[in-house]
Amino acid sequence: MEFKIGKKKTKDYTVIIGCGRLGASLAGTLSDEDRNVLIIDDRKESFRKLPSSFGGLTILGDGTDIEVLKDAKVQEASAVIIVTDNDNTNILAAQLVKKWFHCEKVIMRLYDSHREFICQDMGIHVVCPALLTMFEVGKILHEEKGMDTK
């Protein structure tokens, strides 16, 4: 997939699977940064969450369907971000994108941090909201404790 920005052509683009609040926000932010973005979701109404400034592409379909991934040309994506609201869907999509389409940078969200081991040796970047929250809360508590001793 080749995009043309002005007179310059680029193959740099990001595919996002899942157009919930997070996926739509990521797509909007990347689009606002003049990056090429394609977002996939299996519910047409999900695309309403995209900001009005979104200048990317949308595909209505299942992000675990090989044909949908082919249509999205994920093999040419510089990054694939998988943020559906279902861990099983995210794991399957990440494995397909990494193994079948040989994408270098695959990032997925997992709600259940205990399942992170499934993709541990595949080079898939995993973001767990629960772990991030625990880290931030610990950091805040540590900062407050340090402030009390001054």
Q: Is residue 5 part of a domain?
A: no
Instruction: Convert the pLDDT of each residue in 39-88 to its tens digit.
Output: 999 999 999 999 999 999 999 999 999 999 999 999 999 999 999 999 99
Name the band, by pLDDT with cuts 50, 70 and 90, for residue 100: very high
How far CA 124 is from CA of 33, 79, 143, in Å, comes to: 24, 11, 32
Work out the pLDDT band at 2, boundaries 50, 70, 90: very low
**What are 11's two structure tokens?**
């193959």
Q: What is the CATH number of the domain that holds 75?
A: 3.40.50.720
Neighbours of 89 (CB within 10 A): 18
In a domain, 123, yes or no: yes
Between 72 and 118, the more confident residue is 72
Q: How confident is the model at residue 132 (pLDDT cuts 50, 70, 90)?
A: confident
Name which residue leads in pLDDT, 131 or 86. 86
**Structural domain boundaries enclosing 58:** 10-148
Higher local confidence (pLDDT), 144 or 52: 52
∠ Cα 28 29 35 (to 5°): 90
Per-residue tokens: 128: 């767990």
Is residue 98 helix, strand or coil? helix
Q: Within a domain: residue 108?
A: yes
Please indicate, yes or no, if residue 109 is contained in any of the structural domains: yes
Query: Do 109 and 94 form a contact (C-beta atoms < 8 A)?
Result: no
Q: In whole angstroms, give the CA distance from residue 54 to residue 114.
A: 35
- Domain assignment of residue 132, yes or no: yes
Identify whether 2 is part of a domain. no
* Overall domain count for the chain: 1
104 inside domain: yes
In a domain, 1, yes or no: no
Looking at residue 93, its pLDDT comes to: 97
pTM score: 0.84
